[in-house]
Structure 1
Amino acid sequence: MDFDDTQEEAAWRAEVREFLERHREELGSRNDDVARARQATLYDAGFVGVTWPVEAGGRGGTPMQQAIIDQEMARLGLPGLINLIGIGMCGPTVIMHGSDDQKQRYLKRLLRADDLWCQLFSEPAAGSDLAGLRTRAVLGEDGNWRVDGQKVWTTLAHLSDYGILLTRTDPDVPKHRGLTMFVVDMRAPGVTVRPLRQMSGGADFNEVFFDDVVIPDAERLGDVGDGWRVALTTLMSERLSLGGGGTGIGARAETVARHVAEHLDGLSPDRQVLARQELGRAYVAVLGARYTGYRQLSKLSRGELPGPEASAGKLSGTRSARDLADLAVRVLGDDARVATSRDGSDTWQTLQAGLPGMAIAGGTDQVLRNIIGERVLGLPAEPRADKGVTFRESLG
């Protein structure tokens, strides 16, 4: 692919850069209380949901236009959008499988962050094996569904207004065929959200309990029993948003490079050599993931279907991000216990503590390696003991 901007892309970049620089102070606030307003400002300017169809609240633009926005925001060090899960995962699922009424009610509000969304997939006994989930939805005589079960590791559930919920509606068919997806009101009676404390000190993940939660059939996404196909839309969008679009994971490599350069003088000569070598290896890995993501964007801009590049980008991006964060903390030496960044936050320590979770979120490293092995290298599929049996039978 050509890494230089086309004439149209250069004009778009200039428009984006001018707006971001003009509103830099307003958009640069990291106060959580203004996060929704910040996203609304960007949306009203036409810089959120760029690739979404116009009828869904977007502007019908190209993936490269969105990539340019991401690049320019990163260049200025602006915080990301608060509703990334909604934009990158939930919204595309509603666009692809939702009714016209659902699209009308939800999508524009999602883009403006009037409503925040979460993704309710993983369960205590069904993480990597998503199709083994047990949260049950039963259709009542009144035409509504009643849901019971538990989800876990749900990011931002404690702040979300809505979520996309994958449930089991038929245990008497093979596990991939008995699933159905819904939109759920996170404030509905029977929904309980309990934050989970992370080793970074934050509590962005949650466990969510559903106790006889009523969901109207009008909130179903796709056909009954077709939830696995609907979920694949979400999972593909998730991996593209996490590592397949060339925007990277964690801190930008350039930021880490400046940080390391500022602290080299405080290291012994032999540790300086090691730090340079580690930075070089990690930096090259980041660039490899970044340009693989750009190749994926080029395919999307030509109307081609995304391939396994998103899985490879997420896998390699997570590894290189962890390497960079580890290096950033180590060059602080003994000061790493108390040192803060220039804005007074413990950026590097928090990033280092949070990134191991990325090896699980959005598809574990092991699942992604299986995808690459089977779809890229042509290796035999992993053996499945539950193949050809119903979900109920697989439980023994």
Structure 2
Amino acid sequence: MSGPRLALAVIVAAQFMATSLWFTPNAVMTPLMAEWNASTEQIGALTGAVQLGFILGTLVFALSGLADRWRASRIFLVSALAGALANGLFVLSAGPDTAMVWRFITGLCLAGVYPVGMKLVASWAPERKGFALGWLVGMLTLGTAFPHLMRAISPDWGWQPVVLASSVLAVFAGAMIAWLGDGPGLPATGRFDWGGVIRAFHQPRFRAAALGYFGHMWELYAVWALAPLLVARSLGQAEPDSAMVPAATFVFIAAGTVGCVLGGVVSRRIGSALVAFVALAVSGLMCLFWPWLDALPTWLSLLLLVVWGMAVIADSPQFSALAAEAAPAESVGSSLAIMNSIGFLLTVFSIQLTASFWQGLGTGVTWLLVIGPVLGLVSLLPLCRR
């Protein structure tokens, strides 16, 4: 490999490693609840803390124009190293209150990883955004699933090594991007542009892509946060406390990697808008019908979870590709950051909502997520007609 192909391989590998920081508490949910005497709602709040940190970080990146002022590779390096440190300090937490501080800081750091990684992809492969971003978000998905795999293969290690493994990977990720550097497509401007990102929303195509993305985000991270609980129910267990649960949860979330890559390949033939529409429709239907599927045989239930795992994230890179194409060239990084910021703000409410009602509604909480795909599909219609 050489040039853009090598760059894409490095970026997607680094994205996988760095984003493994995102869902570490969910992968070790059962031992954390036991050690801290915490509830499902409190563990859900840890995920919400990461999301809030990410939201604040992306908001600062977007409104200041920082994501387009400094070299993306340097921002990625510093963010990955700081995130690795904050995630490592999470291990020393005595309970949920202290842990939330470290998870919030981890979220701040991830703001310099995910949207900046998308800008790096756009700078190295500007003519193949849908395909390249499919790989990038696929690796984010695999990184999100990775702690569940670690938990499955190391049930006797305790939860601390699972968390620390993600910190080690994030350090390697930062070093890889520092070695690669920025691509020639979208160089840094060398200046701040406070509020310049608002110009992106003047573009109808950017607005449509952003609104579709917001509907998608209402569902996505709530489903990932609920993954161990949904899998446990499918396996016929009341709580996610067996070795099979993290293994199946890894497969459920990691299936999104396949969905993203396939979506990227198909987008080169039918366009990003249509790929996003189909994926969002499938995941919305799963949200709608899942509470009625408890009685299915275990094998069929798990197979449907894999389908859901593929669809729930396959639209994400295509929304980002549509937004990157429509955004002003001088503020692509900031435009993607503000879109991420608003989208992740929505996830805080959907995660907390589903975590709060799980005890009362069980799998019925997925009905609370259906509104996101519906609104997203309506927003996408103008782009699908072109």
**TM-score after normalising by structure 2:** 0.30
Which has the higher Rg, Structure 1 or Structure 2? Answer: 1
**TM-score after normalising by structure 1:** 0.30
Point out the structure with the larger strand share: 1
Point out the structure with the larger helix share: 2
